Amino acid sequence: MERKFYQTLKEWKDNQIEIPLMIIGARQIGKTYLINQFCKENFKEYVYINLDLEEKIKMVFEQTLQPEEIIKNIELYKDIKINVEDTILFFDEIQVSERAITSLKYFCEHALPYKIICAGSLLGVKLNRFRSSFPVGKVLIRNMYPMDFEEFLLALKKDMWVEAIKES
């Protein structure tokens, strides 16, 4: 499925990948689907972490904010080896852990080139009620919206209609 927001993800990868990317958007608009697709198509290795479902990894952030420790624990819990140069980490449902959001600052400031993308339901609401130290300037925040009419037509393979409407 073609989404215009995919271009936003590509621009981040091409220009600002050293800064963690946080996707804000309503529930059930395709954030996880699109980010999964993007990560698989654009990176050698990809680690998906759902903080709502993976309680052990969520608790790692309660114990430390140090990127090396976080990565080491993710490797242990998922039984994988993370190659920082080639791997993107996708923290889904990040709104369930303020400490995970705070850790983005330390990933951004670290000497190693971590590639971090995160998203969550009602994330905008969570950020407005944030009690911890929000990583201002250390996270690139982008809003994703539900499919617009053009994307809807493209998903239905109605490319001719899109062109006809544009010409009108």
User: What is the pTM for the complete model shown?
Assistant: 0.87
Two tokens, residue 153: 């037509």
- What does the pLDDT profile of the chain (168 residues) look like in tens digits? 789 999 999 999 999 888 999 999 989 999 999 999 999 999 999 999 999 999 999 999 999 999 999 999 999 999 999 999 999 999 999 989 999 999 999 999 998 999 999 998 765 545 555 566 666 678 999 999 999 999 999 889 888 998 898 888
Placement of tokens 């009602």 in the chain: 122
Look at residue 154 in the predicted model and tell me its pLDDT: 87
Tokens of 9: 């993800």
Rounded Cα distance between 96 and 118, Å, is 12
Helix 67-78 × helix 98-109 angle, to 10°: 120
Please return the burial class of 73, using the count of CB atoms within 10 Å of its CB with bins 0-12, 13-18 and 19+.
Answer: middle
**Residue 79 Rama label (left phi>0; alpha psi -120 to 50; beta):** left
